[in-house]
Amino acid sequence: MTDLNIGVVGSAGRMGQSLVREIIQTDGVRLVAASERAEHPALGRDVGSTAGVDVLGIKITDNAREVFEEAESVIEFSGPEATVGHASLAAAVGVCHVIGTTGLSQGDETALGAAAERTPIFWAPNMSLGVNVLIALAEQAANALSDDFDIEILEMHHRHKVDAPSGTALALGQAVAKGRDVDLGRVSQRARDGITGERRRGDIGFAVLRGGDVVGNHSVILAGENDRLELTHQATSRQIFAAGAVRAAIWLQPQPPGLYRMRDMLGFAG
């Protein structure tokens, strides 16, 4: 069995560097190409030295098409607009595409679905296996407990994160809404300030914290009159996201065209 050839888009960013390190440490995969956005200071540099490992002989290019043409699977953590464009490119070339980008709109998700009609695409707002177990548990807990229990979702990330709530927090919100069979858009409460009045029964609240170098903390709190259930995950290294993405690339390779999520890889029902 030959190694799976992987390309990385956004290879000089924090997650891109983590991906490079993960790929070279993982049996059965091989890094073959890497790219960054135009005018990035890392362009032309060796992707290995940029990631703090040995020189790999792979220069970082600003041509994403070259990455998709050279690789069998491309992994990407970038911005929504770039990701949607790259998904179309993956469909045109016929390459598997693993996406960890957050902040995608409903229209962006629709675009991913259209591209996935022609090639396998894997999208997860959080590539951590532990977080995705948390998402499954949150859905089950919301389903088991009535709306006598108020649900609040709390997340904290580093000061550089640009979207809020995080994609993982929104995924948790979707999970608990599904568990209660309600529309998240109808019951979501994302901001409280001033005299807000009493909390509405059935609302799903979100609270966002930003600061320091926090990799990612997420909690789902189900608060009743006499007891409280808290489900929490804390990420201590971005390497967990890289590991999940590489595992997804390996899993995705033999799959037929379609839009896949973490629950598909982990074998969760629903």
**For helices 129-144 and 239-252, angle between their N-to-C axes, nearest 10 degrees:** 90
Known catalytic residue: 59? no
Known catalytic residue: 161? yes
The one catalytic residue among 97, 157, 218, 233: 157
User: Is-contact 97 121, C-beta < 8 A?
Assistant: yes
Distance in angstroms (rounded) separating the CA atoms of residues 80 and 105 = 8
User: Is-contact 7 32, C-beta < 8 A?
Assistant: yes
The string over 145-171, giving b where at least 16 C-beta atoms fall within 10 Å of a residue's C-beta and e elsewhere, is beeebbbbbbbbbeeebebebbbbbbb
The one catalytic residue among 40, 158, 161, 178: 161
User: Which are the catalytic amino acids?
Assistant: 157, 161
